[in-house]
């Protein structure tokens, strides 16, 4: 039992270190966390059903989540080498594209819900 607690504690500590490093070094992550903090009360205000609430909040949560993955990929690729390689560029571009798609998801989700709310 004690071993499980130690493993859980270590996992939490590593995760917390990752979050604090992202906050310190990634401007986009900070912006997305602030956006999440601002969007959450707005989602509670504008949603009319629990499903709308979940969709609105989840769509915004995806942004910092994918930013963490993007930053991890970029850091790993940079660790391997800073010289340009087509595959390295492709990996970074695809990770960045995931954030772009998530941003479109936020716009579409919130747009549909807000338009239906105001019409």
Active-site pick, 67, 95, 99, 110 = 67
Q: Is 52 annotated as a binding residue?
A: no
d(CA 90, CA 113): 34
Q: Is 86 annotated as a binding residue?
A: no
Report the Cα–Cα distance between both ends of the chain, in Å, rounded: 56
Q: Is 16 annotated as a binding residue?
A: yes
Tally DSSP H helices, then E strands, for the chain.
4, 0
d(CA 15, CA 28): 18
d(CA 56, CA 61): 9
Q: Is 93 annotated as a binding residue?
A: yes
> Is 86 annotated as catalytic?
no
Q: Is 23 annotated as a binding residue?
A: no
Q: Is 45 annotated as a binding residue?
A: no
d(CA 52, CA 98): 23
Q: Is 12 annotated as a binding residue?
A: yes
| Residues placed in the known binding site | 11-16, 28-32, 67, 74, 83-85, 92-93, 96
Binding-site residues for a divalent metal cation, in ranges, read 74
User: Which residue numbers belong to the known binding site for ATP?
Assistant: 14, 74, 83-85, 92-93
Binding residues for substrate, by number, are 11-16, 28-32, 67, 96
Q: Which residues form the catalytic set?
A: 67
């Amino acid at each position: 039992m004690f071993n499980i607690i130690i493993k859980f504690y270590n996992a939490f500590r590593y995760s917390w270190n990752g979050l604090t490093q992202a906050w310190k070094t990634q401007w986009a992550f900070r912006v997305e966390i602030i956006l999440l903090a601002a969007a959450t009360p707005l989602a509670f205000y504008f949603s009319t059903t629990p499903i709308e609430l979940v969709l609105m909040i989840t769509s915004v949560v995806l942004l910092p989540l994918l930013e963490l993955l993007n930053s991890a990929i970029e850091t790993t690729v940079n660790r391997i080498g800073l010289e340009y390689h087509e595959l390295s560029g492709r990996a970074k571009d695809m990770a960045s594209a995931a954030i772009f798609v998530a941003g479109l998801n936020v716009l579409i989700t919130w747009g549909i819900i807000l338009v239906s709310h105001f019409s």
